[in-house]
C-alpha cells in the first residue's frame, strides 16, 4: 500500500462551535477547529498510513496558514493548495442535545474556494503519480464554477487512469446557483469507479428509491433484496462503477443513532453489522469517516470486499465517539472494532 497516493479535492472551512452544547446566544466564546468533507477524508487516510494529499484554494493570510498547519499535523500533503482569494469559508454549529437538533450556519459565500475557476489548477501535475482521486457533491454545490472545476478534475483523473470516487454529499442549503443536483452530478458520477451516498442522495441525483432503514438496535435485519434492486438500478445508470456504497443511519434521538452500510460489487450485495451508538458525541464527519474507511478498505483488501465494508462501517461508528470533524483513529483501532467485540472494555 505504500505506493498508493490518494488526492482529495474540496473546501476546508473554519468551524466555530459554542462550548458545552450552549446555544449561540448563550456564549461569548467559540471553539475553533477545521474541517470539510473531502479534507476529513484526507485526514482519515493519512491516519491509516496512506499517502494522502488535499487540494483546495485558501487565502494568503495567517488564518489559512493555521488551517494548513492543522492539516500538516496529520501528515496530509498540502503542496498543491492554491493560495488565492480573500477569505476562508466559515461555518457555525450549535451541537445537538437530547431532543434539540444541531444547527449549522454557513458563511462561505465569496470564499477562496467558491471563486475557483477552471484552468487555475494544474490537474495533470497534481495527479501525476497518484492512484486515486476523491471528490464530493459539496464541491460541486458551492458555485457553478467549482462544479466546472470538479468536472475538469474528474475528466483528467479518468484520462490518467486513476480510480475516481464520489460522495454525493447533498446539502440543500448550498444548491443556490440555479441548477439542481440531478442536473449537475450524474454526468460526473457516470465517470466514477466508486460511489457513496445515502438513500436520499441517490434518490435526488438518480431517482432511485430505497427501502427504509429503521434499525432500533443492533439486532435489526436489513431488507437485502430491496437494496440489491436499488444498487442494480444505479449500476445501469453508472456502468463504470465497480463499487456502489449505501450509508445507512437511523436517528433515534440527537444522541442515539444506529448505523450500517451495504456495498454492491461484482454483481452482489454485501452488508455489514448494525452499530447502536448511544451516546453520540459528535456526528459531524461521520459519513466522511465511512468514505475514508471504504477507500482504505478497498485498497488494503482488494480481494476481500466484505472486509473493506466492515472496516468502513467501523470507522464510521468510531467517528461518532470523538468531537470535531476529523476521525482520530488508526487503522489498527478501526480493524479491532470491525473484527472484534463491541464491549467498550479498557484495552490493557
Give pLDDT tens digits for 38-80.
999 999 999 999 999 999 999 999 999 999 999 999 999 999 9
Among residues 148, 142, 94, the alpha carbon closest in space to that of 119 is found at: 148
Question: What does the pLDDT average to over 14-23?
Answer: 96
Instruction: Say what the pLDDT of residue 181 is.
Output: 97
pLDDT tens-digit series, residues 106-158: 999 999 999 999 999 999 999 999 999 999 999 999 999 999 999 999 999 99
**DSSP per-residue string spanning 32-92:** EEEE-HHHHHHHHHHHTT-EEEEE-EE-SSHHHHHHHHHHHHTT-B-TT-EE-SS--EEEE
Please tell me the predicted confidence (pLDDT) of residue 248: 97
What sign does the dihedral 319-324-330-333 (CA atoms) show?
A: negative
Q: In a 3-state reduction of DSSP, which class is residue 1?
A: coil
* pLDDT (0 to 100) of residue 76: 98
Q: How many CA atoms lie within 13 A of 83 on its CB side?
A: 10
Give the right CATH number for 5-339 from 3.40.30.10, 3.40.1190.20, 1.10.150.20, 3.40.50.1460.
Answer: 3.40.1190.20
How sure is the predictor about 342, in pLDDT bands with cuts at 50, 70 and 90? low
Task: Answer whether the bond into residue 121 is a cis peptide, omega within 30°.
Answer: no
Q: Is 156 helix (H, G, I), strand (E, B) or coil?
A: helix
Domains of the chain, residue spans: 5-339
Distance (Å, whole) CA 303 – CA 280: 33
Lookup result for grid cell 439486532:
219
Amino acid at each position: 500500500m505504500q505506493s498508493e497516493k490518494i488526492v482529495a479535492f474540496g473546501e476546508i472551512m473554519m468551524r466555530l462551535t459554542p462550548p458545552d452544547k450552549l446555544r449561540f446566544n448563550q456564549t461569548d466564546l467559540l471553539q475553533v477547529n477545521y474541517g470539510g468533507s473531502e479534507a476529513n477524508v484526507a485526514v482519515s487516510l493519512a491516519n491509516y498510513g496512506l499517502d494522502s494529499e488535499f487540494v483546495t484554494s485558501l487565502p494568503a493570510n495567517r488564518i489559512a496558514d493555521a488551517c494548513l498547519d492543522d492539516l500538516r499535523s496529520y501528515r496530509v500533503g498540502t503542496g498543491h493548495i492554491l493560495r488565492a482569494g480573500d477569505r476562508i469559508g466559515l461555518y457555525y454549529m450549535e451541537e445537538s442535545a437530547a431532543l434539540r437538533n444541531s444547527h449549522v450556519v454557513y458563511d462561505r459565500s465569496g470564499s477562496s474556494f467558491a471563486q475557483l475557476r477552471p484552468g487555475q489548477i494544474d490537474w495533470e501535475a497534481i495527479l501525476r503519480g497518484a492512484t486515486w482521486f476523491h471528490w464530493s457533491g459539496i464541491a460541486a454545490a458551492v458555485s457553478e464554477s467549482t462544479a466546472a472545476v470538479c468536472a475538469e478534475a474528474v475528466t483528467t483523473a479518468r484520462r490518467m487512469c486513476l480510480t475516481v470516487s464520489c460522495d454525493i454529499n447533498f446539502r440543500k442549503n448550498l444548491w443556490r446557483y440555479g441548477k439542481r443536483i440531478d442536473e449537475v452530478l450524474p454526468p460526473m458520477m457516470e465517470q466514477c469507479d466508486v460511489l457513496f451516498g445515502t438513500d436520499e442522495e441517490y434518490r435526488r441525483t438518480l431517482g432511485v428509491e430505497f427501502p427504509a432503514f429503521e434499525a432500533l438496535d443492533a439486532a435489526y435485519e436489513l431488507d437485502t433484496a430491496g437494496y440489491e434492486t436499488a444498487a442494480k438500478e444505479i449500476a445501469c445508470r453508472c456502468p463504470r462503477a465497480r463499487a456502489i456504497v449505501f450509508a445507512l443511519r437511523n436517528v433515534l434521538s440527537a444522541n442515539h443513532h444506529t448505523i450500517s452500510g451495504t456495498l454492491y460489487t461484482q454483481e452482489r450485495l454485501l452488508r455489514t453489522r448494525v452499530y447502536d451508538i448511544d451516546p453520540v458525541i459528535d456526528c459531524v464527519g461521520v459519513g466522511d469517516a465511512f468514505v475514508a474507511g471504504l477507500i482504505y478498505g478497498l485498497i488494503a483488501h482488494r480481494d476481500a470486499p466484505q472486509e473493506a465494508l466492515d472496516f468502513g462501517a467501523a470507522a464510521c461508528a468510531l467517528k461518532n465517539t470523538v468531537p470535531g470533524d476529523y476521525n482520530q483513529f488508526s487503522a489498527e483501532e478501526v480493524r479491532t472494532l470491525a473484527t472484534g467485540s463491541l464491549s467498550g472494555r479498557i484495552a490493557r
